Amino acid sequence: MSGRWIWGRRPVLEALRSHMVRSILLSEGVRDAAIVTEIRRAALESGVELHEVPDSEIERHAPAHAAQSIVAELRSATTVPLNTILEVVKKANGPALLLVTDEVQDPHNLGSLLRSAESAGAQGAIVTERRSAPLTGTVTKASAGALFHLPVATVTNLISAISALKDQGIWTVGLSERAEQSLYGVDLTVPVAIVVGGEGRGLRRLTSAKVDIMASLPMLGSISSLNASVAGAIALYEVVRQRRPATGDETGPSRH
């Protein structure tokens, strides 16, 4: 399976809307549910070729039983330079909100984190290049297509990237179950980047030393830590909660 192929009906539709698709393969005889009809219409309007093929052809490009009868070949890579994200932040309507991941290796966790970041109105995400899940089909499907709406930068040196965020006035908040300060006591109305560590060991030592604040989520049961994607989602939406006007407006921060 190539990183240029994605699968799943929602990710394919989102990729089409973002003009990222070169061609689409759809299983022969698939019944046109509403989303399949929408995909056909979007492909026609975008001039993207859609071919009906045997299931065996679909399975060449996607894990068994995961494709939902459809795969798409992408036109180009989906990452951007770090400077592009910093420029997006400068133009944003409201304080910065970014997601930073430090060696998140499970593609489902990474995809889920990107989905939460996009849903929370983040302007972008920064992902370590080494020891991170590659941005291939599994991540894309787990993100429910958010990968095509959220600018993502992959960096070789996360410490330098964090320094660049600080230079732009963005506070970095790292998550750790060992941190003494609760996330709920941190002012997240300022420009902020939520930094999430990988499965198992969490943030690396140098990353923990570099961020401005280390914060924890209260653990009231017998389990001592949360899944990386769950912890990240809670933190991102704590930012949204703190920034929400007292009137109850649910729109939250905007990347535009």
Per CATH, which fold does 5-74 belong to? 60s Ribosomal Protein L30; Chain: A; (3.30.1330)
Nearest residue to 199 via CA among 125, 128, 133, 103: 103
- The dihedral through the CA atoms of 240, 241, 247, 251 has a sign that is positive
Tens digits of per-residue pLDDT, 108-161? 999 999 999 999 999 999 999 999 998 877 788 788 778 888 999 999 999 999
pTM: 0.78
Q: Are 96 and 123 in contact (CB under 8 A)?
A: yes
Tens digits of per-residue pLDDT, 182-236? 999 999 999 999 999 988 788 999 999 999 999 999 877 756 667 899 999 999 9
CATH 3.40.50.2000 fits 82-243, yes or no: no
Q: Please report, for the chain, the start and end positions of each structural domain, with discontinuous segments joined by +.
A: 5-74, 82-243
